[in-house]
Structure 1
């Protein structure tokens, strides 16, 4: 079992180099996570370092999974700051290193985020992902509900516009009565 740990702001900054490497390798591997290829390592490093304040403020939760000595994957939850949306969160930046794919790590990261959300009183999660991607199949088989597809929503790492599928999942509050 790959250890998955939640990072605080200090942990994130301490592991920013590893996180940047994971991000650049993920984009180079074709995953659509908001960046174009080739992703400059300095840009990836600055992006991750820029997340530390949100983690420190409790607006973002980040988990990291290691396989051996290498950072193999990460997932995050973004929490809204509006009073009428505190019951939900957005699942963002689920990344598994290309060399670690196909071993259940994405599913384990997803389950970790879902359990933590439920424990924090979150009852609804949502996300968007590239239509037709392996991630789309993961979310569908993990019980997420497809809302629909938005055409030309984002660009692939190669820069081509592609459709995006929107998903949601209801999660039960920890300790809630059936």
Structure 2
């Protein structure tokens, strides 16, 4: 049974599950801001920062469970500027590598878009490494590419890659 929740507090078991999920995605080549192999302490520190931002209402954290097991997660980083409270940035859409192609990412994105609208958020933005399979996914669920920046990220060997930027206006897509 699949359930999706917006998480208000990360308990120790969830910290561990999220750390393992991020680690697995990094090990499978996802460009997520960390080089493989990422250290457990570094990844735990990342999730502790996320937890602090969640508790300070700066970030929304969503988790998709299948039969009680963490299978996917995504975050909305909320704009803190007065003139930008209608927008958020989608960050760290992660799906267990062994669970790809099961529709988890689509279900999670549909859920966060609906929840975003309920929170008064009308515009979602995100970036992803240019040429990555994630670009096809975001396009398929209605995100529009607005450009790319060359030489934006590096891999562990120092090779530079571009990043692509996308947006989705939720009001226009819900009417």
TM-score where L is the length of structure 2: 0.92
How many residues are paired up?
174
Shift of 1:13: 4.9
Q: CA RMSD in A?
A: 1.8
Shift of 1:158: 6.0
The residue that corresponds to 2:42 in the other structure is 43
Shift in alpha-carbon separation, 1:156–1:118, aligned structure 2, 3 A: farther
Shift of 1:5: 1.0
Q: Which has the higher contact order (CA 8 A, sep 6+)?
A: 1
- 1:32–1:157 Cα contact (<8 Å) kept: no
Unaligned residue ranges in structure 1 (runs of 5+): none
User: Is the counterpart of residue 8 in structure 1 residue 8 in structure 2?
Assistant: yes
Shift of 1:52: 1.2
Shift of 1:123: 1.1
Shift in alpha-carbon separation, 1:110–1:62, aligned structure 2, 3 A: same
Shift of 1:67: 2.5
The residue that corresponds to 2:22 in the other structure is 23
Which deviates the most, 164-173 or 121-130? 164-173
User: Is the counterpart of residue 78 in structure 1 residue 77 in structure 2?
Assistant: yes
Distance 1:155 1:2 in 2: 35
Unaligned residue ranges in structure 2 (runs of 5+): none
Shift of 1:41: 1.4
Which deviates the most, 63-72 or 117-126? 63-72
Shift in alpha-carbon separation, 1:12–1:172, aligned structure 2, 3 A: farther
- 1:27–1:157 Cα contact (<8 Å) kept: no
- 1:145–1:167 Cα contact (<8 Å) kept: yes
The residue that corresponds to 2:88 in the other structure is 89
